Amino acid sequence: MWQLHQFPLCPFSRKVRLHLAEKGVPFELWRENPWEQRDEFLDQNPAARTPVITNAERGITLVDSRAICEYFEETVDKNPLINGTAQMRAEIRRLVALFDENFFGDVTGPLLHERMKKRLVYRQSPDSRVLREAMKLAHEHLYYIDYLVDTRPWRSVDPK
């Protein structure tokens, strides 16, 4: 059985949960607070970041959401998520990178830091300027997502 060591609010952990569900891979959830840097967690990932997925029976430990998703993409045939021509697959990877890097850096990262980590770990109040800036950038990203939804052909795929 796969065990996903993850933090519920971590967007990279969420991406892996969704990917495994789409692929039909059974897994158990293990909650990890990465900032606690537990020794057992550091043994799995010296960078102390969620998510990490392990399979004790097979002696496998995988680290990093993109590496984990691509592993299951390559080893489980059901519901290919990085599919189509090489050009289409490059575009899928670009969009994943956009969310993992730009959206996380501009929006999710600062919101998690200000609203959750500062309160739980540092016992500090959030900085309202950082929150305002993150929300402003969230709107800019949402405009771009609207543009993609309006202009890309996958919009016209009939969901039924």
Ligand X SMILES: N[C@@H](CCC(=O)N[C@@H](CS)C(=O)NCC(=O)O)C(=O)O
Q: Of 106, 109, 114, nearest to 140 (Cα)?
A: 106
CB of 100 to ligand X, least distance (A): 6
Residue 100 as a binder of ligand X (CB under 6 A): the answer is yes
Contacts of 32 (CB under 8 A, 6+ apart): 5, 6, 7, 38, 41, 50, 52
CB of 41 to ligand X, least distance (A): 10
Residue 12 as a binder of ligand X (CB under 6 A): the answer is yes
Residue 35 as a binder of ligand X (CB under 6 A): the answer is yes
Pairwise CA distance, residues 74 & 27, whole Å? 17
Residue 144 as a binder of ligand X (CB under 6 A): the answer is no
Residue 141 as a binder of ligand X (CB under 6 A): the answer is no
User: Which of residues 55 and 143 has its CB atom nearest to ligand X in the complex?
Assistant: 55
Residue 54 as a binder of ligand X (CB under 6 A): the answer is no
Q: Is 128 left (phi over 0), alpha (psi -120 to 50) or beta?
A: alpha
Residue 65 as a binder of ligand X (CB under 6 A): the answer is yes
* DSSP assignment letter at 83: -
**Binding-site residue total for ligand X (CB under 6 A)?**
14
Q: Which of 2, 41, 50, 103 binds ligand X (CB under 6 A)?
A: 50
Contacts of 128 (CB under 8 A, 6+ apart): none
Residue type, 118: K
Partners of 61 in the β-ladder? 54
Residue 14 as a binder of ligand X (CB under 6 A): the answer is no
Positions touching ligand X (CB under 6 A) are: 7, 10-12, 34-35, 48-51, 64-66, 100
